[in-house]
Amino acid sequence: MLISKKTKIITTIIGLLAIATTAFILFLDSAFDGKAWQRVPPEKLGFDSDTFSAMLADIEVNDHKIHGIVVMREDQIAFEQYLPPYQEDTLHSFMSVSKSVTSILVGIAISEGKLSLDTTVCQQPTDESGA
């Protein structure tokens, strides 16, 4: 049976998306390690609270179109602020930026040995049980 070029391309794209999704899950699993990120005072991580206050004032005065800001260091949140009407749980459409983030996460997974360019989609576990 002959497989068309279009079918091969679609199959390849689906496979790459599955690998990217797996890499993202592996990354999140290692990043979160089952715990929520801790919020700490900015000064504890070497930041100045006044700088964040000035930044928020500038955003308000100049009507910058910013939805939210999260500043992290050493897996801890030093500053987190969402600007109306947005909140922490507001969903956003990422459109094309998702491809860039996915490629970064795949690169991280490859560099950490969690994923290989020679690994097929069928070889990737779907959960911790490997099912």
Please report the pLDDT score of residue 130 as a whole number.
44
Residue 130 domain-assigned (yes or no): no
Quick check: pTM over 0.85?
A: no
Residue 40 within any structural domain of the chain? yes
Q: Range of 94's domain?
A: 5-123
Looking at residue 35, what is its pLDDT? Answer: 65
- Alpha-carbon separation of residue 15 from 19, 23, 26, 40, 98 (angstroms): 6, 12, 16, 40, 16
Q: What digits encode the pLDDT tens for the residues 47-100?
A: 999 998 998 888 888 888 888 888 888 888 899 988 888 888 887 776 677 777
The answer to the question of residue 109 being in a domain is yes
Q: Which helix (H) or strand (E) holds 76?
A: strand 76-82
State how many domains the chain has. Answer: 1
Q: Are 65 and 86 in contact (CB under 8 A)?
A: no
* 10 or 89, higher pLDDT: 89
* In a domain? residue 128: no
Whether 39 has a pLDDT exceeding 70, the answer reads: yes
